[in-house]
Amino acid sequence: MKKISILLVAIVSLATFSCKKEETKVEETSVEAKTEAHKIVSLNGAVTEIVAALGHEKEIIGVDVTSTYPENIKTTAKDLGHVRSISIESIIALKPTVILATEKDLSPELAEKIKGAGIEAHIFKQDFTTEGSKKLIADVAGVLKHADFKALTDKIDADLAKVQPIAKAPKVLFIYARGNVCMVAGTNTPIEKTIALAGGQNAITEFEDYKPMTPESLVKANPDVFLLFTSGLESLGGVDGLLKIQGVSQTNAGKNKKVIALDGALISGFGPRVGEGAAALNAELVKAVK
């Protein structure tokens, strides 16, 4: 009996030891799963900025054409091109674990294909306000299970606090230029919202969105300041090239050579740098009206 008793104790001890080893393995696997990096395809510039600002830049494997910041993102992630022409096949080929996008960018067809691809996808609503930017930050952080994002929303407020008051809001006409193609911004555009945050007023109020620029529209708007993306002004040949466009020299902005050029993503993206963009435009407007 004594031998049987000893044998039973040994078997129980061995079983207990085996169970503990199995439990340890399960716990280790669980920890590894929690720390596994994402493989992210981001199809919106503001979303890309947020992901990077949260410390997940190295997890981005594919981006759209509007994702230009951080500046080296096109060298570390594949540029899939314009979101309206991106194929679901090119996205799937990257083998992402999560796709991030915004409603305004995706065509209904691509949105449907993304949903049917069996890949985790999050399509956010983007509101072009400072509060909308903060919500987008919170939404993206939630997907990445990144709880500490307050520093990003606080920075928006800190940057906006740098905006100086302007006694009389200057009329600002934004020109979207790509070589020979020029469009002017009406109401309900992201750039109109940034102009307002910076202390200016949009020069065009007769229509929404963008319309082709004409000499008549320039003269009628008669802006105090022209605003362009830096890349857009370069495509026109700089300030001298802009001034050669018919109608430009007949405006107050053209006569006084009041032209501001800033980075496109900075002043129209409405990501974590929305306050920074407003403050940068405000500083230029203050100089322009002196």
Task: Delineate the domains of the chain, giving CATH numbers in brackets.
Answer: 40-149 (3.40.50.1980), 171-288 (3.40.50.1980)
Task: Name residue, tokens 């928006």.
Answer: 156
* Average pLDDT over the chain, rounded to an integer: 89
Task: Write down the pTM of the prediction.
Answer: 0.85
Q: pLDDT band at residue 25, thresholds of 50, 70 and 90?
A: very low
Buried b (16+ CB within 10 A) or exposed e, 16-34: eeeeeeeeeeeeeeeeeee
Decide: 247 and 219 in contact? Cβ < 8 Å.
yes
The pLDDT value given to residue 100: 98
pLDDT greater than 70 at residue 220: yes
Q: What is the band of 24 on the pLDDT scale with cuts at 50, 70, 90?
A: very low
Amino acid at 229: F
Nearest to 265 by CA among 75, 74, 94, 131: 74
d(Cα 80, Cα 121) in Å, to the nearest integer? 17
Q: Alpha-carbon Rg of the chain, whole angstroms?
A: 27
Three-class secondary structure of residue 168 per DSSP? coil
- Whole-number pLDDT of residue 11: 38
For the chain, give the percent of residues with pLDDT over 90: 84
Q: pLDDT, tens digit, for every residue of 224-260?
A: 999 999 999 999 999 999 999 999 999 999 999 999 9
Alpha carbons 215 and 220: distance in angstroms, whole number: 9
Beta-bridge partners for 41? 62, 99
CA 94 to chain centre: 21
Alpha-carbon distance 57 to 38, whole Å? Answer: 10
Cβ–Cβ < 8 Å for 63, 79:
yes
| Residue 274, both tokens | 């929305």
The separation between the first and the last C-alpha atoms of the chain, rounded to the nearest angstrom, is 104
Confidence of residue 33 (pLDDT cuts 50, 70, 90): very low
**pLDDT tens digits, 57-112:** 999 999 999 999 999 999 999 999 999 899 999 999 999 999 999 998 888 999 99
Per the CB < 8 A criterion, the answer to whether 198 and 282 are in contact is yes
Query: Distance between CA atoms of 44 and 252, rounded to whole angstroms?
Result: 36
